């Protein structure tokens, strides 16, 4: 199944949860009008993630990281999430990289390159997975591959979630924050890592962002790096101006609005720019998403890449 189905679910679910919290209805316990829509999506996300681990042995960004982050947020908002759903995916992620730890630490054997390493560390770190030899190996892999300009090179070019250097750079900046600035690191190591994070943030800030994906992950990366609020506000305003008359956003200028781009925009604008979910622009975006949701709780986003895996 195309990547965009699963990444789309994640961004859309994030968006819906934010609306539930900041519209004064913080989840199902308080009778949120969006609870049924969220609940249907949760069922699909958990089922899809579990099915992947039964059919495949390799870690994937779209089946491990994205569902885990969505399920984590849902649980935090009071939605019912299976007790095994998140730990199962985290263990699957750690087990995959643990089995190739030595090569990973040498900068090798990470299919998907920085995207894969970054998404793996994000899933583990946001769920408080402790530092271990496997996360250390992934950190060493990141450090080996960062160019002098602060960005990270990319291996796959699979639209939309694996084609932007901004995405890779923002994810790996966050990975270093989560697992390389730990108490066990020496002062000199911490200084070196912080310098790498600073260079990544400078690259994100100074490099022209062309696609929607670029703009979204530039904002996330600058938010994670602690960039001044005034600069984030400036970039957020530019993103807001890209909202279409139908309430949505598009991946590219010559494409129609879709749920993937719209969900991304709403979540990053709230998280990085504190845009109020009760504002007119935000509510217009949510209305667009509700219009596009399928009966089973999913959102269909037309793929822009050639599938590389057999459907199951």
Q: Based on the domain organization, do 158 and 246 belong to the same domain?
A: no
Q: Which residue has the higher pLDDT, 244 or 283?
A: 244
Q: Which residue has the higher pLDDT, 16 or 127?
A: 127
| Of the listed ranges 33-47, 75-89, 151-165, the one predicted with least confidence | 151-165
**Band of the pLDDT at 24, cuts 50, 70, 90?**
very low
Q: How confident is the model over 201-252, as pLDDT tens digits?
A: 999 999 999 999 999 999 999 999 999 999 999 999 999 999 999 999 999 9
For residue 235, the model assigns a pLDDT of: 96
- Residues 54/68, Cβ–Cβ less than 8 Å: no
**How far apart, in whole angstroms, are the C-alpha atoms of residue 147 and residue 192?**
14
Q: Based on the domain organization, do 237 and 197 belong to the same domain?
A: no
For residue 223, the model assigns a pLDDT of: 96
Which residues is 162 bridged to in the sheet?
158
Q: Based on the domain organization, do 114 and 73 belong to the same domain?
A: no
Residue 251 lies in a domain: yes
Q: Based on the domain organization, do 64 and 112 belong to the same domain?
A: no
**How far apart, in whole angstroms, are the C-alpha atoms of residue 5 and residue 15?**
15
Compute the average pLDDT of residues 156-174: 83
Dihedral sign from CA coordinates of 210, 215, 221, 227: positive
Cα–Cα nearest to 220, from 157, 292, 172, 280: 172
Q: Which residue has the higher pLDDT, 311 or 292?
A: 292
- Residues 3/62, Cβ–Cβ less than 8 Å: yes
Residue 55 lies in a domain: yes
For residue 250, the model assigns a pLDDT of: 94
> What is the DSSP code (8-state) at residue 61?
I
Q: Based on the domain organization, do 34 and 110 belong to the same domain?
A: no
Residue 89 lies in a domain: no
Q: What's the mean pLDDT when you consider all of the chain? A: 83
Compute the average pLDDT of residues 178-196: 85
Extract the tokens encoding 132. 């271990």
Q: Based on the domain organization, do 106 and 49 belong to the same domain?
A: no
For residue 224, the model assigns a pLDDT of: 95
| The last residue of a domain, from among 161, 186, 203 | 203
Q: At what angle do helices 113-126 and 66-76 cross, to 10 degrees?
A: 20
For residue 109, the model assigns a pLDDT of: 79
**Band of the pLDDT at 138, cuts 50, 70, 90?**
very high
**How far apart, in whole angstroms, are the C-alpha atoms of residue 271 and residue 71?**
17
Per the structure, the count of domains in the chain is 3
Extract the tokens encoding 247. 């309430």
**How far apart, in whole angstroms, are the C-alpha atoms of residue 93 and residue 286?**
32
Global pTM value: 0.86
| 153 pLDDT more than 60 | yes
Residue 241 lies in a domain: yes
Residue 308 lies in a domain: no
**How far apart, in whole angstroms, are the C-alpha atoms of residue 47 and residue 302?**
22
Q: Which residue has the higher pLDDT, 10 or 234?
A: 234
Burial bucket for residue 113 (CB in 10 Å: 0-12, 13-18, 19+) = middle
Segments forming the whole domain that contains residue 7: 1-84
For residue 157, the model assigns a pLDDT of: 67
**Band of the pLDDT at 117, cuts 50, 70, 90?**
confident
For residue 240, the model assigns a pLDDT of: 96
**How far apart, in whole angstroms, are the C-alpha atoms of residue 13 and residue 15?**
5
Q: Which helix (H) or strand (E) holds 275?
A: none
**How far apart, in whole angstroms, are the C-alpha atoms of residue 220 and residue 33?**
28
The string of DSSP letters for 280-306 reads HHHHHHHHHHHHH--TTS-------S-
Residue 40 lies in a domain: yes
Q: Based on the domain organization, do 2 and 55 belong to the same domain?
A: yes
Which residues is 158 bridged to in the sheet?
162
């Amino acid at each position: 199944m195309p990547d965009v189905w699963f990444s789309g679910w994640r961004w859309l679910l994030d968006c819906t949860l934010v609306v539930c919290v900041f519209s004064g209805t913080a989840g199902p316990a308080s009778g949120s009008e969006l609870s049924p829509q969220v609940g249907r999506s949760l069922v699909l996300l958990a089922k899809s993630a579990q099915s992947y681990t039964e059919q495949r042995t390799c870690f994937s960004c779209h089946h491990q990281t994205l569902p885990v982050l969505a399920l984590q947020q849902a649980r935090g908002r009071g939605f019912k999430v299976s007790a095994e759903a998140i730990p199962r995916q985290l263990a699957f992620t750690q087990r995959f990289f643990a089995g190739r730890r030595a090569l990973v630490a040498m900068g090798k054997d990470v299919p998907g390159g920085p995207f894969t390493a970054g998404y793996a560390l994000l899933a583990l770190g946001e769920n408080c997975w402790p530092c271990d030899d496997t996360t250390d190996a992934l950190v060493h892999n990141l450090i080996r591959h960062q160019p002098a300009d602060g960005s990270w090179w990319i291996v796959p070019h699979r639209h939309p979630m694996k084609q932007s250097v901004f995405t890779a750079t923002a994810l790996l900046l966050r990975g270093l924050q989560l697992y390389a600035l730990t108490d066990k690191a020496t002062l000199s190591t911490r200084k070196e890592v912080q310098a790498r994070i600073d260079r990544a943030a400078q690259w994100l800030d100074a490099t022209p962002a062309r696609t929607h994906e670029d703009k979204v992950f530039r904002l996330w990366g600058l938010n994670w790096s602690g960039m001044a609020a005034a600069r984030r506000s400036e970039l957020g305003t530019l993103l807001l101006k890209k909202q279409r008359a139908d309430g949505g956003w598009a991946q590219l200028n010559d494409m129609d609005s879709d749920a993937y781009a719209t969900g991304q925009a709403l979540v990053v604008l709230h998280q990085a720019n504190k845009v109020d979910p009760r504002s007119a622009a935000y509510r217009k975006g949510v209305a667009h998403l509700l219009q596009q949701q399928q009966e089973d709780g999913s959102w269909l986003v037309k793929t822009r890449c050639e599938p590389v895996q057999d459907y199951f």
